Structure 1
Amino acid sequence: MLADTQWLSNHLNDPNLRIVDCRYVLSKPSDGKKAYLESHIPGAIHLDIDQDLAAREGPGRHPIPRTTDFSITMSNAGIDQTITVVAYDDVGGAYAARLWWLLRYFGHEKVALLNGGWTKWATEGRPVTKEVPKIKARSFKASPHPDWVVNKEQVKKMIPCENCLLIDARSPERYRGEVEPIDKKAGHIPGAKNAPFANNVDPTTKEFKNVEELKKQFETLGVKQAKEIISYCGSGVTACHNIFVLKLLGLDAKLYEGSWSDWSNDPNLPAEK
């Protein structure tokens, strides 16, 4: 699930490896691709959160792509069942985890996150390039897992729930409703616990904390007692970071696809602060 920079450096020329740059800036989405074109890991392609890893229509700001569309995107990216994918970004895997989750959701298990991402790679002075690789298309065969996802109606029925756990990956300020830079309503889904994705990594190196630290961090939320865990964020992107960590800990969690951007858009639904 995690690839380190030395391993990736040793495998840059592996024909069965596809490196994917997932850098993205929420306030200015075009800056992700711009950063990639300026410098990236040799052999890496870029996939955009808005254009490649989300549907145009659906619940919330970043709906899950349609099966056909995702299959075409992955095929054009040169990814099929023989390819191992390593995804990275420059924010500790917050956006790369979306690709990790989508690939697994659509049946592709051979995917890892680069531990420390672009931050660690660049800090270590490893090779970078401006060259955009020419990729030969392959045939991606999707086998989606719809049971890994919940919608607004399902979440509504869970509240209040003694046996399930809702975790919110957004910052503490957004969770508490002190600020809301993008969605219509401030606050969080009633009963949800705050687990900011940024707390999963070292703030300087952007490497994931060790398993024991992460285990302690999530056990305080009640993950061991929960029969079902639902992860959400602003739009279903950084929630995947918490799902990734829970998987590292041997736990499964479902994604609330529309997340807060879906929930807060409904004036009839409650919000806690």
Structure 2
Amino acid sequence: METTVHPLVTAAELERELRGPRAPRLLDVRWRLDRPDGRDDHRAGHLPGAVYVDLDSELAGHGAAIDGRHPLPGTADLQASARRWGLGRGDAVVVYDDLGGLSAARAWWLLRVSGVADVRLLDGGLAAWRTAGLPVEQGEVTPVPGDVVLEPIGAGRDGLGVVDTEEAGEWPEHGALVDSRAAERFRGDVEPVDPRAGHVPGALSVPTAGNLGPDGTFLEPAALAARYREAGVDLEGDVAVYCGSGVTAAHAALALTLAGARPALWPGSWSAWSSDPARPVAVGDPSDAPDDRRP
């Protein structure tokens, strides 16, 4: 029986493992909405041996607007990318970024739902590594291609699952649909990226950034569980999570996993929903009147 791997690793733990006989593969997934290409930052300084991963081209596919801004990549494409990163069968993998894990969690989630057993996120990311006084290196890293074999994206490990847009719209009828965007986007006060402002009717607002402490590391599992329960999430029930385009939703899925839930992720997220004018949109706080909706 397979032992479930804890999804986080500290900088001190990782440093010890990198000196051991079976060092994990390191993936640098630096990406920001306002600066999606992190190659220059990677070249300027990264964990020793870390391979740069392009989120837009390697951790996402391409489709119509109603598929969302970051639809899932095909299994063959993701496997080709993972082999380019040097991943082999049975390798342990650690992913990180410089954004509290908000972009690297996409790689964690994708590899987990594709059947890779040992994938962890560096808690606190590059900042935690630097704070610990650990070394970084500069330049490009080109590994020997690996031979990892990925499974079709589906139920995955740890109970992580995938829901589509139709399922997401019906989810609040039987479970908790968690919106992990900033509260002002959930309310519809602002919408800097997607076609319409607001949220899916019946969704619960739990902004992802609140899952991290001041040092950029995840809150303790008990604190995470309390935070989601306070928002109305039954952690023992059906839970699905979304964000703007399925990137930071993976970070929320990791937090929910730490909290004891078995979350599903909606890859299309708000970018897919808001691109379909036939779908209803709710605005305001969850306590607003049920007629506070726009078609």
Smaller-chain TM-score bracket: over 0.9
Q: 2:42 touches 2:139 (CA, 8 Å); kept in 1? A: no
2:125 corresponds to which letter in structure 1? G
TM-superposed CA distance for 1:170, in Å, is 0.5
What whole-Å deviation, never above 9, does each CA across 1:233-270 have from its counterpart, x for those lacking one?
00011001111111112211111110000000001111
TM-superposed CA distance for 1:146, in Å, is 2.5
TM-superposed CA distance for 1:124, in Å, is 2.6
TM-superposed CA distance for 1:184, in Å, is 0.3
**More deviation in 87-96 or 118-127?**
118-127
After the TM superposition, which residues 166-181 of structure 1 pair with which residues of structure 2 at under 5 Å, given as runs? 166-181=177-192
Distance in 2 (alpha carbons) for counterparts of 1:226 and 1:46: 36
Distance in 2 (alpha carbons) for counterparts of 1:253 and 1:268: 27
Q: 2:289 matched to which residue of 1?
A: none
* Unpaired runs of at least 5, structure 1: none
Q: 2:188 touches 2:199 (CA, 8 Å); kept in 1? A: yes
3-state SS of the aligned residue for 1:7?
A: helix
Q: 2:167 matched to which residue of 1?
A: 154
TM-superposed CA distance for 1:164, in Å, is 0.8
Does structure 1 residue 45 correspond to structure 2 residue 51? Answer: yes
**More deviation in 12-21 or 94-103?**
12-21
Distance in 2 (alpha carbons) for counterparts of 1:77 and 1:247: 26
Does structure 1 residue 198 correspond to structure 2 residue 209? Answer: yes
Cα 1:68–1:138 shift into 2, 3 Å: same
- 1:11 corresponds, among 3, 11, 17, to 17
Does structure 1 residue 233 correspond to structure 2 residue 265? Answer: no
- 1:136 corresponds, among 137, 141, 144, to 144
Instruction: Please report the TM-score for the alignment, with normalisation by the length of structure 2.
Output: 0.87
Q: 1:164 touches 1:227 (CA, 8 Å); kept in 2? A: yes
Q: 1:12 touches 1:43 (CA, 8 Å); kept in 2? A: no
Q: 1:244 matched to which residue of 2?
A: 254
TM-superposed CA distance for 1:156, in Å, is 2.8
Q: 2:292 matched to which residue of 1?
A: none
* Unpaired runs of at least 5, structure 2: 1-6, 156-160, 284-295
3-state SS of the aligned residue for 1:8?
A: helix
Distance in 2 (alpha carbons) for counterparts of 1:226 and 1:179: 33
What whole-Å deviation, never above 9, does each CA across 1:85-132 have from its counterpart, x for those lacking one?
111111111111100100011000200010111111122321011032
1:166 corresponds to which letter in structure 2? L
Q: 1:97 touches 1:238 (CA, 8 Å); kept in 2? A: yes
Q: 1:42 touches 1:127 (CA, 8 Å); kept in 2? A: yes
Distance in 2 (alpha carbons) for counterparts of 1:263 and 1:226: 26
Q: 2:101 matched to which residue of 1?
A: 93
3-state SS of the aligned residue for 1:11?
A: helix
Q: 1:19 touches 1:44 (CA, 8 Å); kept in 2? A: yes
1:76 corresponds to which letter in structure 2? R
Q: 2:129 matched to which residue of 1?
A: 121
3-state SS of the aligned residue for 1:222?
A: coil
TM-superposed CA distance for 1:56, in Å, is 2.0
Distance in 1 (alpha carbons) for counterparts of 2:235 and 2:40: 44
- Structure 1 runs (4+) greater than 6 angstroms displaced: none
The alignment's C-alpha RMSD in Å is 1.6
Cα 1:193–1:44 shift into 2, 3 Å: same
- 2:79 corresponds, among 66, 71, 76, to 71
Does structure 1 residue 26 correspond to structure 2 residue 33? Answer: yes
Q: 2:293 matched to which residue of 1?
A: none
